[in-house]
Structure 1
Amino acid sequence: MIHRDKGVEDEGPSRGYRNILALGLVSFFTDASSEMCFGLLPSFILSEVGGTVGVLGLIEGLAESLSYILRVISGALSDRFRRRKPLVFAGYCLSAVVKPFFAAAQSWVDVLAVRLGDRVGKGVRTAPRDALLSESIGEKRIGAAFGLHRTLDQLGAIVGPILASGLIVFFSLSIREVFLFSLIPGLAAVAVLVTFVREVAGQPVKRRFLSDLGRVLKGRFPLLLVVVGVFSAGAFNFSFILVKASELGVTEALLPLVYGVINIAHTLSAIPAGLLSDRFGREKVLVAGYGVFLTSTLMLLLHGSPLYGFLIAFVYGVYVGVIETIQRAVVPSYVPGELRGTGYGLYYLVAGSSFLIANTLVGFLWERIGIEAVTAYSTATTVSAIVGMTFLARRSRP
């Protein structure tokens, strides 16, 4: 069964978009705060607190795993109490307050503790926030709404590293002082949330988690999760694009520009993808997005000048912008409106777990066998996902 809820469409699009814009600004300031820290964190761990590359991987793996597990719990809680904003507030507030404590870290264990605290915040807020986003706008405009939110979020991710570099280069701040400075945009995010974001969900209802889970997993939502999981299991992250760019001759000094091209393409593609999904159907746009990823994967097999590395990065960035926008926007069509928090939690758990598998396996294949094995594996998972999403597209309507 495909669920087509009206959200707050009857209140008028402008009112709904104010909530979307406010949540987008919250994400903008939060991502600026986070990327100020995370861009410096690998160097900080390796050079100042006695960590190794293995420790860095351990920290990231534990932090992200905890975040994805918590999304299921927080999403279900927001459905049960029909209040999204308190959990969203708690998550953003925790992340804003905890990140400056990186400045006090004396060992990698301290860094792990702070990183876990930040990811707890992300885990608590993400599913309720996406449910609130979907409830703030009518079904016909939900793709554009998620595109706008994703664009603002990604702009923050671009501003953060620039701000961190500016503070170090022009104001001679140390890495620890930049960590402290990250509190300012973090608190700005909380202020926007408290002042401008309004609650949309209805009255609390008494239900049991297992019964809610059973309702969510009815209809075609399990198939959607399978398709997303299969695709994500082969969808490696941007780090491997940077490795390929380096192999093509892009110097270490220019590698950040390759990452910048990914972010720019990501930002530019989010809103158009959302608008197209509202017009033609979200499943169809996801099929196209999977096709763009397949193109970037096959491009890894070819050789060229360093400029070719930037071209691969741009294509890859378009894929990220389309998929990270539309996979979130498609969820409300597959779950009951009052259970969107639980639905988003399950979506993030499946996608996140599969991404962890993908990056671990792709790294192993790249190192032990070669890039041909990586492209063969990712091509197989992507083609399978295209077939599955095409099946869903034929049974849905825009």
Structure 2
Amino acid sequence: MPNNKVRNKAFTFLLLMGIVSLLADMTYESARSLIGPYLLFLGASASVLGFVFGLGEFIGYTFRLVFGFVVDKTKNYWLFTILGYSINLIAIPLLAIVPPNGWIWAAILIICERFGKAVRAPAKTTLVSFAAKRVGTGKGFGFVEVLDQIGAMLGPLFLFFIMQWKESAGTHAQYQWAFASLAVPAVLTLIVLFIARAIFPKAEKFELTDKKTNITSQKLKFKEIKPILLYIIAIGLLAMGMADFPLMAFHIETNKVIDVKYITLIYMIVMGVDGLSAFIFGNLYDKKGAMTLLISAIIGLLFAPLVFVSTNLTSIVIGLILWGVLLGAMESVALAYIADNVEVAYRGRILGIYYTFYGITWFVGSWLMGILYNVNPVYVAIFSIVILLSAIIVLWRQIKINKQ
């Protein structure tokens, strides 16, 4: 098959998976713009919120190690992608039926949603990595991430109008309608996913491989992946220093900076920044490599003091924009780097290891930030700066080692 034809097919596949990501983000990422204030409304504290979201991320990332190994072993990429999306997306509309003061039930659904993402993430990321190499790894992942973030922008805007529409019905009814309405993009996600599966049942054929490489080999060679472990540690530190948006939304709502329905619009703006950042840094990665993540980490270094030390709307929005820049770069560059430096035979497992460490560090960071916030929000800012500086140092060291 001519290279141009393969490239065009790869792009079509990435477009379909990007649409899947767009619709899925309309469902669960937009829900995250409201979950912080929702838990506050249901009676949860900042420390509880930090623990719940930290635990959710921990479970959501740790189980990716398990499913990464299973995916590598079985090669059932589509099975786990579809199964994971199904669990992931069903949990969100069910938040609509949580009773008043039922924050425990909401917490269970939040954790279930994260577990669903754990089931599908290694398989879906591996599928995308096959086609991404045909168009440029950074560009491929960046393109999917842009569509992903368009969904993350449209979802909060959709929720804003729902909450505006139901404003007279009371706060609880607003939340119920908001979460119930997300069943629509959830169903559409699964429909597009099945279409992609029907058109590209063997997406692994896109993979660019060395003819000398044994693609079916299952043996994980530590010496071949050792250089990437330092990179994974740096990403983990970045995750630890990144506050959850629900905690930042909790801060906005607690201090009554703006009405709760406008938080969804702020989240929309931040997700737009996230998507633009993913596209820019994804393209830059194809030219500059890991250095692009170091640049984004420096840009995002001061997001926490701008958000947590102040109750000024302008300061908070600037801090959230910096947070979005770093998050977008992490989401595109980190995965592109792994796809470029790990063979397909054990890519799922390395992704599993990456996601697990990422989840552990995110959990520890989120939980500690929730506790620190209850003491004094300033401590959250100090903690974030120290951890992000540590990540920058490790990244710099990793880049120097690669140049040797």
TM-score under structure 2 length normalisation? 0.80
2:352 corresponds in structure 1 to 345
Q: How far did residue 312 of structure 1 move? A: 2.7
The residue that corresponds to 2:388 in the other structure is 382
Separation in structure 2 between the aligned mates of residue 393 and residue 16 of structure 1, nearest angstrom: 30
Report the counterpart of residue 337 of structure 2 in structure 1. Answer: 330
Q: Which residue of 1 aligns with 2:204?
A: 201
Counterpart CA distance in 1 for 2:267 and 2:32 is 14
- Alpha-carbon distance between aligned partners in 2 of 1:256 and 1:178, rounded to the nearest angstrom: 11
The alignment status of 1:273 with 2:281, answered yes or no, reads yes
Q: Secondary structure at the match of 1:219?
A: helix
Residue 78 (structure 2) aligns with: 85
Q: Distance in 1 between matches of 2:330 and 2:126?
A: 18
Residue 65 of structure 1 aligns with which residue? Answer: 58
How much has 1:160 moved relative to structure 2? Answer: 1.5
Provide the residue aligned with 1:52 in structure 2. Answer: 44
User: In 2, Cα distance between the equivalents of 1:174 and 1:367?
Assistant: 27
Cα drift, residue 242 of structure 1: 5.7
Other-structure match for 2:128: 133
In 2, Cα distance between the equivalents of 1:308 and 1:115?
29
* Map 1:101-140 → 2, pairs under 5 A: 101-106=94-99, 107-138=102-133
**Residues 205-224 of structure 1 aligned to structure 2 (within 5 Å):** 207=218, 212=220, 215=222, 218-224=225-231
Q: C-alpha displacement at 1:167, in angstroms?
A: 3.0
Structure 2 partner of 1:5: none
Residues 68 and 349, structure 2, Cα contact 8 Å, conserved in 1: yes
Which of the numbers 158, 178, 190 marks the counterpart of 1:163?
158
Alpha-carbon spacing, 1:139–1:287, altered in 2? closer, same or farther (3 Å): farther
Q: CA RMSD in A?
A: 3.5
Structure 2 residue identity aligned to 1:102: L
**Percentage of matched positions with identical amino acids:** 21
Cα distance in 1 for residues equivalent to 2:195 and 2:301: 42
1:15 to 9, 13, 16: 9
* Alignment of 1:34 onto 2:28: yes
Deviations 1:29-84 (A, max 9, x none): 1111224544444555555xx64336555543443322112211111111112231
8 Å contact 2:49–2:370 — kept in the other structure?
no
Shift of 1:387: 2.9
Q: Give the C-alpha shift of residue 375 in structure 1.
A: 4.7
Q: Against the structure 1 CA distance between its residues 140 and 167, is the aligned structure 2 distance closer, same or farther, given a 3 Å change threshold?
A: closer
What per-residue deviation string (whole Å, max 9, x for no partner) do you get for residues 153-201 of structure 1?
1221221222223234337775434433322211111111111242323
* 2:303 aligned residue: 296
Q: Does residue 1:315 correspond to 2:322, yes or no?
A: yes
Q: Structure 1 stretch 58-67 or stretch 244-253: which is displaced more?
A: 244-253
SS in 1 for 2:204: coil
CA contact (8 A) 2:33 2:245 kept: no
Contact kept, 8 Å, 1:150 with 1:325, in 2: the verdict is yes
Structure 1 unaligned segments of length 5 or more: list them: 1-7
1 or 2, which has the higher helix percentage? 2
- Structure 2 runs not aligned, ≥5 long: 206-213
The one-character-per-residue Cα deviations of 1:300-336 (angstroms, maximum 9, x if unpaired) are 6997964333333322322222122211221123322
**Alpha carbons 2:305, 2:319 under 8 Å: kept:** no
Matched residue count = 382
Question: Structure 2 vs 1, CA of residues 306 and 170 (structure 1 numbering), >3 Å: closer, same or farther?
Answer: closer
| Alpha-carbon offset, residue 131 of structure 1 | 1.3
C-alpha distance 330-244 of structure 1, shift in aligned 2 (>3 A): same
Q: In the TM superposition, what is the alpha-carbon distance from 1:24 to its structure 2 partner?
A: 1.1
User: Residues 361 and 217 (structure 1 numbering): CA distance in 2 closer, same or farther, change over 3 Å?
Assistant: farther
Paired residue for 1:181?
181
The separation in 1 between residues aligned to 2:248 and 2:88, in whole angstroms, is 29
Separation in structure 2 between the aligned mates of residue 39 and residue 299 of structure 1, nearest angstrom:
19
- 2:92 is aligned to 99
Quickly say closer, same or farther: Cα 1:21–1:216, change in 2 above 3 A. farther
Which of 391, 394, 398 aligns to 1:392? It is 398
TM-score by length of 1: 0.81
> Residue 262 of structure 1 aligns with which residue?
270
In 2, Cα distance between the equivalents of 1:166 and 1:366?
31
Distance 1:305 1:216 in 2: 50
Q: For the residues of structure 2 that align with 1:56 and 1:240, how far apart are their CA atoms?
A: 7
